[in-house]
Structure 1
């Protein structure tokens, strides 16, 4: 029996990817639980910022923290709104400079479809693993989050910037040549970003997930509606646990929920 507040699983880029669930006092190698029955029980809430037992609003934060903490600034979801390079504060300039003024990658990833996205260079390939991508390629490497954001805005006029999580979890993969897809984007990159285009870097990252059985039609587990659930773990992909009865559980989407986890 384990207990702790959920945060997104730690990952290790291996073949297949290794997943670890980290609680305050426990460290669980989730791959070792494949084909075993797991029982999840909701206990309470724990905001990732104030650590109080208050209902989670979004991204693991209670409502007040979501609108106050620098870790939930709008620039995180919309990088084109980043302003630290202008020395302008959103919520906490020191934090924003630390996060925004570092190398960022604009990439293409193949999960449900070919999508464009942004991540800090330090988060390669973790970001792609969290999205459940099977392949990824870097398009540009820029010195700050703002430049990555305006590039993403320009490129998503020509392709999606979203992952269809249901198609990703049922493993409905399309055929795509990421190198060819990347080569088609050169004309759409903003002029101020063109010098950062990675024209000689055509490396494709391949990602393999520990999945024994994909669901045919996914049923999402919501701990607010179903505070107790038991099922046989059949796979892990993205930040989802996949169970034998087609139930899927989004660990990252449940950050801040304190649970008991029992393994049979």
Structure 2
């Protein structure tokens, strides 16, 4: 069976398991089709890039993809591609310099969550949505544990809190470490208490400026996330579609937005959003 079309990042949801953990499920959008990737674990797949790349926003044909799927024009004009997406503490909206104020109102001026997660090491992050106790962002990052610790009034505030916490905890995932196996469980709740105590003066200052309810504690239990992996790579070998436009092999697992293949090979499918691919399996 072969499906051809422009791909997007894998869509994710979770299924509750016994013991309170959640199993990640993946679908890969290819054109108008969605491939159930969990069903392909243990089977041989073949992927070929046809040579075409289209912007995930405006659909314009582009020779090079930027920021995981955008053409250059969209990269420099869209608010969702601005530097404040990576550094939310630099949000432009209040300064009147947001590229798209209406987009900012819909996506930035709403509640966000600050969380801790275990992606091979403990990290802090922010997310807009936590549905049924789980954020798709945690799955995209390959987190095996996660815990929302604060609910904040807007994206700018979430960035200020995250920036304060970075002096005490990492804010980035080491993707190679994340892909090499199932990490040991951490005392994520205990570490959350330590981090919150350490940044209490900064949170007080943020609330003094942005309102007493700008930062609110969240009462939640840590969640555990499992991934459909039969074998982890011992030495990660990344596939680059721009250099190797086709590959095939046995799909041994999925974690984060990565496919894990035999021969210790991995590929970040999100990186190639907008690429027109032919995806087939036995």
- Give the TM-score category using the shorter length: over 0.9
Listed one character per residue, the Cα deviations across residues 172-223 of structure 1 (whole Å, up to 9, x for unaligned) are: 6244201110000223142125853426x14101101011111111111110
Separation in 2, partners of 1:50, 1:138: 34
Separation in 2, partners of 1:122, 1:203: 13
> For 1:33, which of 28, 40, 51 is the aligned residue?
40
Partner of 1:22: 29
Residues 89 and 96 of structure 1 are in contact (CA less than 8 Å); yes or no, is this contact kept in structure 2?
Answer: no
Deviation at 1:136, TM superposition (A): 0.5
Deviation at 1:125, TM superposition (A): 1.4
> For 2:57, which of 40, 44, 49 is the aligned residue?
49
- Judge which range, 208-217 or 121-130, deviates more: 121-130
Partner of 2:106: 98
- Judge which range, 235-244 or 249-258, deviates more: 249-258
Listed one character per residue, the Cα deviations across residues 58-88 of structure 1 (whole Å, up to 9, x for unaligned) are: 221122221112221222111111233x272
- Judge which range, 172-181 or 53-62, deviates more: 172-181
Separation in 2, partners of 1:228, 1:24: 18
Structure 1 residue ranges without an equivalent (≥5): none
Separation in 2, partners of 1:24, 1:70: 25
Partner of 2:199: 188
Separation in 1, partners of 2:105, 2:95: 8
Residues 113 and 174 of structure 1 are in contact (CA less than 8 Å); yes or no, is this contact kept in structure 2?
Answer: no
Correspondence 1:47-126 to 2 at 5 A: 47-54=55-62, 55-84=64-93, 86=94, 88-122=96-130, 124-126=134-136
Separation in 2, partners of 1:6, 1:169: 22
Pair 1:177-2:187 in alignment: yes
Pair 1:238-2:244 in alignment: no
Structure 2 residue ranges without an equivalent (≥5): 16-21
Partner of 1:159: 169
Distance 1:168 1:113, change over 3 A: same
Give the secondary-structure state (helix, strand or coil) at the position aligned to 1:252. helix
Separation in 1, partners of 2:254, 2:227: 7
Separation in 2, partners of 1:89, 1:122: 29
Partner of 2:19: none
Normalised by the size of structure 1, how large is the TM-score? 0.94
Residues 127 and 135 of structure 2 are in contact (CA less than 8 Å); yes or no, is this contact kept in structure 1?
Answer: no
Alignment size in residue pairs: 262
Normalised by the size of structure 2, how large is the TM-score? 0.88
Listed one character per residue, the Cα deviations across residues 129-158 of structure 1 (whole Å, up to 9, x for unaligned) are: 000000011111011001100000000111
Alpha-carbon RMSD: 1.7
Separation in 2, partners of 1:58, 1:142: 27
Separation in 1, partners of 2:223, 2:104: 29
Listed one character per residue, the Cα deviations across residues 224-248 of structure 1 (whole Å, up to 9, x for unaligned) are: 0100100100100000000111110
